[in-house]
Structure 1
């Protein structure tokens, strides 16, 4: 199963749905005047280039959002550090949209601070065991659990390895539970092998459209250096050519508004009788794309709570603020869905809704509930 636009979107979407992965333990000095320039630059940048905003046809910010901007602007006088400035700007951005729009401390700024500090202020490092983010467990002779906490591209090979090795009878079990609760998204490409373990099926997907501002064109042009296969590079060059010819218009990432993807008997690695996908509000971005597609398979049942709601505006670009201390993230593409079918701010509802767990025991019990549903029809 493959479409060119999905491959391209996966590369940019690796930012995931959250906006600040950098630590906030480094105190880089910043005066209010500099922070003000960063705030005003951010507001102008995303109003002119963010695909989610352009899709709303805003030429100025709505009154409620402008009020938040003004409120945050008034708080600038007390700013002394980059972290404090970031905390001033962030509520303004979150008032616009929760996903694929954010601001973080620039990595170069952190590195410079670390090198110049006599006391070597520690930067918090997020260390993760990739193996623990992708796990399997044989629950019974009939059911295997596959838990994936992220679709970060760094996990691509790990997921491939788990599937190819038939870990814990993953490919032979009649019933499969895919636990995507707390999956923070990442890359669509990382999830592609999972379609092959769901049996034969046909899937429809809507192509994202790029807003072809000059800033976004430059961003996609710069991203060519990350592409390694000729097909993707050729397709991206054609897309950029269209963007230059249709500047400040919507340009599709695919030749078709909608495309059908077929997983045939030649493609599949497994044919389970039934699959439960567990979801919750922390499943966002590429996690939601997988859920949105996989639920079209008649073998698949989603269970849990609505997803995060960060999918329509996606394919993140990044820009450095005037101070060069902050990094701004925004969406360069938008999926124009029919009215009432939007995902952003709404999420994807499960077929079987479960109440929010009140503790870890109730959270874990959802797996047993899914198992009973599969094995006993409950």
Structure 2
């Protein structure tokens, strides 16, 4: 079973993946194939680890191989999260592990110092800046951590494994002063919920002077989910803005049979939960274009029939809009920030976004109701021009480097309030 699934994964990455031409020859499947063949006691956990390691050859954070939600074996974590600053890993949250607190510093894992760990895991970290590194998949690989408390006491803990909690999205608006609203959007997955939030707070959006939008954590979703917000974020009233006019390049979709089938399944599934008629028309147009171009290779899909739906008419809104961004904002989060930067009312404060959209529009292939591979099916033509966002992200207008001071004080919000 394991070898057959791995051969499927190789075929997808060599033929269906949006980067199959750009990254041809970057991988070494024989090395991992032999690992699977030579293992006398292969199990699901080991297999997932091997495939995940293989995917690192492609250096694409938009790809993932995981257990499905239906699988009884789920991913574990250590109960806390860290962020690197210089040669230490600082605890930034501790939802389940009470032996460490926010602000504590980890100096070593299993006796290896943080600089040593960076070198060991450089393939997985895939970043050149400490503040952009993601250590969540690395911590569970170790048994112990050397810790320094806030008061300077040093101790060692044996790392425990906790079930990874299901992410709970937040879509909220609150007043933080008479003139200022604070909008939090942790993803763009639930189109109806976000549209409802905007509609219910329309009077606030049209009468408050300032709006701060927090997308520092934004797990992406659908670009269509934020369209109802955009009219309030651009200058003027009743002005027509063509969103297509902001595109620097074209989107090329790899229309293989597998991609058309998998993407169509996803889009039809999304239709069942979307009420907005304009959005439904856009999705149906996407499905028709995929089906018409099946087996045609890389194609720039023609959305001429729904071009009008990419025209927004501006509405009265805040005079100043601040976007708070960080590396935990990616995919549709990248797109949102990139699009909003075209408005003269918008200022982006924080750190660059993750930068996932060189290759996007994910398809999901599942096996045995246990494993799933998510991979991009479209690529931006700007990649071929050397203008990709991978490893770079969307840059803020005002950069605030991450430091341990952020753990106790929200320096990004502080800067936003000073700015307005």
- Output the TM-score relative to the length of structure 1: 0.73
Distance 1:299 1:104, change over 3 A: same
CA–CA separation in structure 2 for the residues paired with 1:354 and 1:283 = 15
What residue in structure 1 maps to residue 159 of structure 2?
none
CA–CA separation in structure 2 for the residues paired with 1:366 and 1:179 = 10
140, 149, 155: which one aligns with 2:186: 149
CA–CA separation in structure 1 for the residues paired with 2:20 and 2:304 = 24
76, 83, 98: which one aligns with 2:60: 98
Q: CA deviation at 1:359?
A: 4.6
What residue in structure 2 maps to residue 235 of structure 1?
285
What residue in structure 1 maps to residue 233 of structure 2?
198
Q: Does the CA-based 8 Å contact 2:68-2:371 persist in structure 1?
A: yes
Question: Where do 1:321-360 residues align within 5 Å?
Answer: 321=367, 325-337=370-382, 339-360=385-406
Question: Where do 1:233-312 residues align within 5 Å?
Answer: 235-236=285-286, 238-244=288-294, 247-255=296-304, 261-265=310-314, 268=315, 270-312=316-358
Distance 1:354 1:210, change over 3 A: same
Question: Larger relative CO (CA 8 A, sep 6+): 1 or 2?
Answer: 1
Q: Which has the higher helix share?
A: 1
CA–CA separation in structure 2 for the residues paired with 1:237 and 1:157 = 20
* Secondary structure, counterpart of 2:401 in structure 1: coil
Question: Where do 1:40-79 residues align within 5 Å?
Answer: 40-54=7-21, 56=22, 58=24, 61-62=25-26, 65-66=27-28, 70=31, 73-74=34-35, 77=39, 79=41
* Secondary structure, counterpart of 2:182 in structure 1: strand
CA–CA separation in structure 1 for the residues paired with 2:56 and 2:324 = 27
Distance 1:223 1:159, change over 3 A: closer
Residues 158-200 of structure 1 deviation map (CA, whole Å, 9 limit, x = unaligned):
3233322328944322111111101111111221122022134
Residues 64-86 of structure 1 deviation map (CA, whole Å, 9 limit, x = unaligned):
x328x626843761653212210
Residues 241-262 of structure 1 deviation map (CA, whole Å, 9 limit, x = unaligned):
4313x62232425349x99954
Q: CA deviation at 1:105?
A: 1.6
Distance 1:293 1:57, change over 3 A: same
Distance 1:225 1:273, change over 3 A: closer
What residue in structure 2 maps to residue 179 of structure 1?
214
Q: Does the CA-based 8 Å contact 1:357-1:363 persist in structure 2?
A: no
Q: CA deviation at 1:295?
A: 0.5
Distance 1:328 1:278, change over 3 A: same
Q: Which is further off, 362-371 or 231-240?
A: 231-240
- Output the TM-score relative to the length of structure 2: 0.66
20, 31, 37: which one aligns with 2:4: 37
Q: Which is further off, 159-168 or 335-344?
A: 159-168
What residue in structure 2 maps to residue 13 of structure 1?
none
* Secondary structure, counterpart of 1:70 in structure 2: helix
Q: Across the two proteins, how many residue pairs are aligned to each other?
A: 314
Q: Which is further off, 220-229 or 308-317?
A: 220-229
Q: Which has the higher strand share?
A: 2
When the two chains are superposed, the root-mean-square deviation of aligned CA atoms in Å is: 3.2
CA–CA separation in structure 2 for the residues paired with 1:225 and 1:162 = 24
Residues 311-333 of structure 1 deviation map (CA, whole Å, 9 limit, x = unaligned):
12111112234x66321111111
Distance 1:214 1:165, change over 3 A: closer
